[in-house]
Structure 1
């Protein structure tokens, strides 16, 4: 790909909150709320792991050990966007996330668990379909 001059599009997700629209790339720490976003994500991941969530490290496409793969999965743009939405919207308000690439299986699984513990409907639009997460299930029936 490098020799041909072809570049892969980076994953990007965006959401509208009380403070306007925010967009995130994987591992993004440029937002002013990044410290709060990462703290919230850590808490959410710990909580859903106690409910049975197991990170799907096959979706971390780097040649690193499993612990580092788990860290990379937390930094996916859709998870950062969800945390921003949770921080900046009132309980009960739907969180509408748009993603330029297909949502990964790990994020889909995590959002399914997270939808059990937050007072929000989570709607993710990727290039293929809409996913409506609510009360521990997704409108796609697991066909992400």
Structure 2
């Protein structure tokens, strides 16, 4: 006799599981790209590329945590977090925390730089477009975008 799960117990959606798996892979790739960018490039290219990757990483983390989130909402959320962190730098608190912690330096930065705001938007747009394309093109697209 074969038993199945009771009807009242919801099984995890394979679409959500696939989305989480892809998002987790994206997190690894984005972190690697950021480290690689810093290793091989310098100056404005490395700085602003890192800014875009920072927001793209936040985007991927949002999708990882909330796999049913729309691409637009994840992009807006990632951009909002990035902008809040950038404007927080005007207070001096991140600079003080960065003096004591390498992690704080990586996550919060230290000094406000207005052009960063544009590059954060670029990262959010890339994340939104890539997520939308992946969800529309994949065979397991679950209509979450």
Q: Same fold (TM over 0.5)?
A: no
Scaled by the length of structure 1, the TM-score of the pair is 0.26
Scaled by the length of structure 2, the TM-score of the pair is 0.25
Richer in strand (by share): 1
- Whose radius of gyration is greater, 1 or 2? 2
Richer in helix (by share): 2
